[in-house]
Structure 1
Amino acid sequence: MATRISIDPVTRIEGHLKIDCEVDGGRVTKAWSSGQMWRGIEVILKGKDPREAWLYTQRICGVCTTVHAIASVRSVENALNLEVPRNAQYLRNIMIAAHAIQDHIVHFYHLSALDWVDVTSALKADPKKTAALAQNISNWPMNSAQAFTDAQDKIKATVDSGQLGIFTNGYWGHPAMKLPPEVNLLAVTHYLQALDIQRKANMIVSILGGKTPHIQNLAVGGVANPINTDSPSTLTVERLYYLKTLIDELGSFVEEVYFQDVCAIAAHYPDWTNYGAGVTDYLSVPEFPVDAAGTVFDHPGGFLPGGDLSSFHQIKNMKDGFVRDGIQESVKHAWYQGDASRPPWEGETEPHYTDFQDHGKYSWVKAPTFQGKPAQVGPLANVLCMYAAGHARTRRYTDRALSAIGTMVGGEVPIKALHSTLGRHAARAVRTAVLKDTLKDQWQYLMESIGNGDNRTFNPPEFPKGERKGVGFHEAPRGVLSHWIVIKDGKIKNYQAVVPSTWNASPRNGQDVPGPYEASLIGTPVADPEKPLEVLRTVHSFDPCLACAVHMIDPQQKELVRIRVR
């Protein structure tokens, strides 16, 4: 007889997500993904000035702020066919690369690593042996025996206090935890170090954006950062070189710690390359434009049906009809009026709550489809699409990761192993390594442009009479983000945001086909239904951000976590 598990809410994510599963014979046989909030930004924006939309949309989330701002200004620029000065493109690119690196570091260490790392086991480790292990992997200067001793003392003090703080509610001692004590200590120590390192990325964003979260420097047509090498109140050479020191510090951690830790942990869980594939149609969009028209990109994008690298279809730019015409959203199983599937420009956001219905409506998240089918988005989609496109750095870091894991497990690890729960973590580490190189490139492009005497950062927009449509795409940390705008006589007539967690956390679509979260959970082993760690591993591997997909419906919710088994 099947056992029903309800995890409500899933913690260590942004927003409120409920996952229901049926477990039969020790494995998940059915799954439901339910967004438990309602987002009303689209309604708020109607009638507003399109130049102000980005200020509202980045309030969709307290984490994914910069990304919504970028997609929003791009949608208006797309509608107006407005070019953006190259300096503005570089400054935007530096911010979004730094933001993504920070997001990926936080996701691995602070949101998902504790699904694989047993904090209490780290107390049994020998710091000297841990240091020898770490120094064999990388040259990170903070991998000393003293650093691991200090971290172990902090963990012990926390445990002895009886209040685990940030480590509360972990499934310590769970049979699915397999790391030896020394690897656990290594990972927890880097968890603590990452708290400081991720701050470096935020400093880059805040220096250029004025603050973070919720940057202040964007504008439709460019950025509000004046470049004047002689004025201390603008972007000076001194400030730009300070950015470079932060970029280098960030790059060292990514190269010497994050990338290595993911490979080391993956090598201890080889069986998890067999779980969590789910939807293997992958969608990614080109990113980091380096020309004014937004037609040349540092990172390619495209569509990979069935995960087949030989079937890759490249997406050229935001005007590409293949992607613009290929996206629809269904509300058949979402708490909105009707059951229609519509393209985003015609999308409606009219709430209609019915309670949770297994075969009816059960989520505030809509169900996007690409070419009529669900698609997985995120770092795995991005890496596989760039690999298929022949992107040199992506190929180099992907091959390096697979080789490193293979060396540790004593066998070859093929690229198809990435179609899995662990594959999403490995791909995120690969993408972060690519991003730290891209961040350096964009800084260099900016410095060369300024050196050539170009200080332009803004082109003023003009809004003609009549109706215009635009779409702004961005390859955000969690995957494809798109903002769709209809402008009439200079005002917003309709606005829809199709976000990464809408794609991945979607309920069943108009044809009753499960979304990526739901599909990825089928077949997952569950050792103890009362402690469904395995379910959380796969869900966390997507880095859910439900605040982006929906908005609040139950402000009176008091519980931290609830698991029901029946």
Structure 2
Amino acid sequence: MAERIVVDPITRIEGHLRIELETENDKITDAWSETTQYRGIEDICRGRDPRDVWAFVGRICGVCTAVHSIASVHAVEDAIGSRPPEQAQLIRDMVLSSQELHDHVVHFYHLHALDWVNVVAAAEADPKKTVEFAQSIGSKWKLNSEEKFTQVKNTLQEILDSGQLSVFTNGYWEHPDYRLPPEANLMAVSHYLDALQFQRSIIRINTVFGGKNPHPNFLVGGMACSIDTEKSETVNQVQIDKIRQWIEEIHEFVNDCYLPDALAIMGVYKDYFDIGAAAPNFLAVGMAGTAYVGHDLQQPVSLGDDGVRPGVILDGDYSKVHPLDPDLIKEYISSAWFSYEEGNDVGLHPSVGETTADYTGPEPPYEWLAHADDGRYTFSKAPRYDGRPTQVGPISRVLSAYIQGHKRTKELVDSALKKYDIKVSQLNSTAGRTLARAVESVTAAEKLRDEIFPKFIDNLRGGDFDVFDKTHWEPSSWPEEADGFAIVEVARGCLSHWVTVKDKKVANYQAVVPTTWLAGGRDPEGNRGPYEESLAGGHPLVDPKQPLEVLRTIHSFDPCMACGVHLLDPEGNEIFQVMTE
């Protein structure tokens, strides 16, 4: 008989995610992804001046702040006919790049690494052998020294001796499936600390151009920053020189530290290339940072043409990328606490989407949500592409770029496939999603350093300081009724914003975000969402009281539940009380 297990909350993510499971013989047989938070920011946008909406949707999340605002200004510009100058678009490209690289590094080291790295065991390592281990995996990181590793080991030992593990409290450090040798653990803990410092530097790019972070400032028609290399109160030469330095630091860290670490750790957990597969359908409009405005998907507004076109991989056929048709995107609510005017089993295209909360679940605290009488158990809608559950994110972008022959992506992926002796299809897995982020960090850092920033500088040298299109700023220049659409590749996946403007105000607004694609529940046909599918059907779970395997797979998607739900219920009563790390 199946045993019911609840993991609530899933931690080291943004927002509130509850996973309900049925298990037999140390295997998960079924799973339900439950978003227990609702905010309704899309409804807050209605009736607003469309020039202000970026500031509201930027508050969907405290992590993904800039990406929603950029998607919003693009969508509004599409509706009113504004076309920002090239320098403004390049600034947006730099902001998106820095945000994405920041996100990937934070995800790997601070959210996901502790699923693979035993922090307590790192205290047993020999610092000298740790240097040798780092060299053996090809890590050229400048802080790989016996002195640094000794310092980290001593600090860690002091923490262990104190009995106060701080951020490492409640870890499953006695779990039998931690496999790294002590030296690998010590190296990873040291790099965990290095990444804390790194993330402080990288995000300063956003503060230069946006004034602050989180929630930097943006502007419909351009960017809310002026450029004059000679003036202290504008983006000037001093700040530009600092940006150049930070970009070099980004490139150094992801190449010398992040990628070798990810390759080495996933090599030890190679069986996870056969664990955690979700529906083999993938959607991406390009590589990291690619942005399209409007339904014409022939030319992105973001910099460059790398030959990677918007497309979808369908039904596990990794030989072909089909052209993307945005009209085939629909959102379903048959398993969600929402209601549609036409009925809850229809799918709505985002351009006419509705966000009307309709909670029918039990009064908290609750023990089990999955088998409610009406089949609803989450506040996340269920997007589908042509009726299919579809993955988005780094794995989708990397696979799409690989199949379409992007040279640098093929080099990195082919090297990993050879190293692990695996097939492309095995990248649809827990380990594959983790590896894809590291691969993408390298290509994104190279594009930022070698293409986006140099183009921005070349334009400055040519006297181009223009960052604002004022021709459509005044509402009198707008059509009486217009629709706008933008689709952008951000850290967690494909993000699209859809706006309808009537009588100079927002009449309808919808955001279809990466986590909604991934965390949504069943559709009317009973198809599970990607989180659910990745766990159901035989995923390992040795000890329900230490659901480390579940964390590994769910964290590989990098959940951001605040984005996915647009009030937190009190904690329910579980069969097992689980404290996640």
Question: TM-score by structure 1 length?
Answer: 0.93
Which amino acid is 1:294 matched to?
A: V
1:330 match: 332
2:364 match: none
How far did 1:162 drift?
1.0
SS state at 2:102 partner: helix
Q: 1:111 to 1:328 in 2, by over 3 A?
A: same
* Conservation of the 8 A alpha-carbon contact between 2:116 and 2:178: yes
* Conservation of the 8 A alpha-carbon contact between 1:8 and 1:561: no
How far did 1:558 drift?
10
Q: How does 1:224-243 map to 2 (within 5 A)?
A: 224-243=224-243
Question: Which of 369-378 and 347-356 deviates more?
Answer: 347-356
Mapped to 2, the partners of 1:385 and 1:563 lie a distance apart of 41
How far did 1:352 drift?
1.1
2:435 match: 426
2:301 match: 294
SS state at 1:542 partner: coil
* Matching of residue 488 in structure 1 with residue 498 in structure 2: no
SS state at 1:563 partner: coil
Which amino acid is 1:9 matched to?
A: P
The count of corresponding residues between Structure 1 and Structure 2 is: 550
Q: How does 1:407-422 map to 2 (within 5 A)?
A: 412-422=421-431
How far did 1:92 drift?
0.5
Mapped to 1, the partners of 2:301 and 2:95 lie a distance apart of 17
* Conservation of the 8 A alpha-carbon contact between 1:130 and 1:148: yes
Alignment equivalent of 2:347, drawn from 341, 345, 352: 341
* Conservation of the 8 A alpha-carbon contact between 1:86 and 1:290: no
Write the deviation string for residues 451-481 of structure 1: whole angstroms up to 9, x where unpaired.
1222211112254242111111111110011
SS state at 1:311 partner: coil
* Conservation of the 8 A alpha-carbon contact between 1:230 and 1:236: yes
SS state at 1:358 partner: coil
Question: Which of 556-565 and 538-547 deviates more?
Answer: 556-565
Q: How does 1:65-80 map to 2 (within 5 A)?
A: 65-80=65-80
Question: Which of 66-75 and 287-296 deviates more?
Answer: 287-296
Write the deviation string for residues 34-75 of structure 1: whole angstroms up to 9, x where unpaired.
001002111111100000000000101110101101110011
Q: 1:60 to 1:448 in 2, by over 3 A?
A: same
Mapped to 2, the partners of 1:526 and 1:472 lie a distance apart of 40
Mapped to 2, the partners of 1:413 and 1:369 lie a distance apart of 29
SS state at 2:540 partner: coil
Which amino acid is 1:445 matched to?
A: K
Write the deviation string for residues 181-205 of structure 1: whole angstroms up to 9, x where unpaired.
1111111111111100111111111
* Conservation of the 8 A alpha-carbon contact between 2:93 and 2:302: no
Mapped to 2, the partners of 1:487 and 1:387 lie a distance apart of 38
* Matching of residue 195 in structure 1 with residue 196 in structure 2: yes
* Conservation of the 8 A alpha-carbon contact between 1:75 and 1:470: yes
* Conservation of the 8 A alpha-carbon contact between 2:31 and 2:535: yes
Please list every run of 5 or more consecutive structure 1 residues that lacks an aligned counterpart in the other structure: 316-321, 407-411
Mapped to 1, the partners of 2:237 and 2:319 lie a distance apart of 45
* Conservation of the 8 A alpha-carbon contact between 1:175 and 1:527: no
SS state at 2:494 partner: strand
Mapped to 1, the partners of 2:504 and 2:409 lie a distance apart of 41
How far did 1:401 drift?
3.3
* RMSD, aligned CA: 2.1
Mapped to 2, the partners of 1:26 and 1:161 lie a distance apart of 35
SS state at 1:382 partner: helix
Write the deviation string for residues 180-239 of structure 1: whole angstroms up to 9, x where unpaired.
1111111111111110011111111111111000001x1111112222223222222332
Q: 1:391 to 1:559 in 2, by over 3 A?
A: farther
Q: How does 1:36-55 map to 2 (within 5 A)?
A: 36-55=36-55
Question: Which of 229-238 and 10-19 deviates more?
Answer: 229-238
* Conservation of the 8 A alpha-carbon contact between 1:85 and 1:222: yes
* Conservation of the 8 A alpha-carbon contact between 1:290 and 1:297: no
How far did 1:161 drift?
1.2
* Matching of residue 438 in structure 1 with residue 447 in structure 2: yes
Which amino acid is 2:48 matched to?
A: K
Q: 1:335 to 1:239 in 2, by over 3 A?
A: same
2:58 match: 58
Write the deviation string for residues 228-253 of structure 1: whole angstroms up to 9, x where unpaired.
22322222233212101011011111
Write the deviation string for residues 365-400 of structure 1: whole angstroms up to 9, x where unpaired.
000001111100111011111112222222222223
Question: Which of 158-167 and 419-428 deviates more?
Answer: 158-167
* Conservation of the 8 A alpha-carbon contact between 1:289 and 1:298: no
SS state at 2:554 partner: helix
1:459 match: 469
Please list every run of 5 or more consecutive structure 2 residues that lacks an aligned counterpart in the other structure: 294-298, 362-368
SS state at 1:70 partner: helix
SS state at 2:23 partner: strand
State, as a whole percentage, how many aligned pairs show the same letter: 43
How far did 1:140 drift?
1.4
1:319 match: none
Alignment equivalent of 2:540, drawn from 519, 525, 529: 525
Alignment equivalent of 1:396, drawn from 411, 416, 421: 411
How far did 1:175 drift?
1.4
Which amino acid is 1:457 matched to?
A: V
1:215 match: 216
Which amino acid is 1:26 matched to?
A: D
Which amino acid is 1:29 matched to?
A: T
How far did 1:549 drift?
1.0
Which amino acid is 1:416 matched to?
A: S
Question: TM-score by structure 2 length?
Answer: 0.91
1:354 match: 360
Write the deviation string for residues 501-543 of structure 1: whole angstroms up to 9, x where unpaired.
0000001012111000000112211111221111111001000
Q: 1:559 to 1:479 in 2, by over 3 A?
A: farther
2:366 match: none
Write the deviation string for residues 2-31 of structure 1: whole angstroms up to 9, x where unpaired.
111101110000000000111112211100
Alignment equivalent of 1:469, drawn from 466, 476, 483: 483
Q: 1:288 to 1:480 in 2, by over 3 A?
A: closer
Q: How does 1:276-287 map to 2 (within 5 A)?
A: 276-286=276-286, 287=289
Question: Which of 301-310 and 137-146 deviates more?
Answer: 301-310
Q: How does 1:494-533 map to 2 (within 5 A)?
A: 494-522=508-536, 523-533=538-548
* Conservation of the 8 A alpha-carbon contact between 1:378 and 1:479: yes
Alignment equivalent of 2:559, drawn from 544, 551, 557: 544
Mapped to 2, the partners of 1:194 and 1:158 lie a distance apart of 19
SS state at 2:539 partner: coil
Which amino acid is 1:348 matched to?
A: E
* Conservation of the 8 A alpha-carbon contact between 1:89 and 1:289: no
Which amino acid is 2:145 matched to?
A: S
